[in-house]
């Protein structure tokens, strides 16, 4: 596994532990369908959360959020639709973004409801 993939997997593991610590049940990781992938799918009470994780080292020029443009959001939403319909989910969907920064101390910038669906989706 190359260094970037290893860093990404490490960030996803950090976010999964973070969510579990708040009582979330991790339902799936790296859910892939044609045209899209969701890093973490978790549930808590009446919400199903689809989480995009971006991992950066402190030396990165990017904040991570700049890679989640409208096209990426739409691919995540379409993939979430697939998961919901395939698994007969009746929970309220939410789309979160987590940016993990590895420096002297690990920092997680977690944004709930980072983006939403447009009318006509779902």
pLDDT in tens, 30-83: 999 998 999 999 999 999 999 999 988 766 555 556 678 899 999 999 999 999
**Of residues 32, 30, 55, the one with CA closest to residue 40:** 30
Q: Which residues pair with 36 in a beta bridge?
A: 33
Predicted model pTM: 0.88
- How far is Cα 48 from Cα 51, in angstroms, rounded to an integer? 10
**DSSP of 73-110, one letter per residue?**
HHHHHHHHHHHHHHTT--SEEEEEEEEEEESSS-EEEE
Domains, the chain, ordered by start: 3-115 (3.40.1350.10)
Name the residue with tokens 């950090």. 14
Tokens coding 88: 């007969």
Residue 10 banded pLDDT, cuts 50, 70, 90? confident
């Amino acid at each position: 596994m190359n260094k970037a993939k290893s860093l990404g997997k490490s960030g996803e593991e950090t976010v999964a532990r973070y969510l579990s610590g708040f009582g979330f049940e991790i339902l799936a990781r790296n859910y892939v369908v044609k045209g899209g992938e969701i890093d973490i799918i978790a549930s808590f009470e009446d919400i199903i959360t689809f989480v995009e994780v971006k991992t950066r080292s402190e030396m990165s020029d990017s904040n991570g959020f700049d890679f989640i443009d409208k096209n990426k959001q739409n691919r995540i939403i379409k993939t979430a639709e697939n998961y919901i319909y395939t698994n007969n989910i009746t929970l309220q969907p939410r789309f979160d973004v987590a940016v993990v920064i590895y420096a002297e101390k690990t920092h997680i910038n977690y944004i709930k409801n980072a983006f939403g669906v447009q009318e006509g989706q779902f």
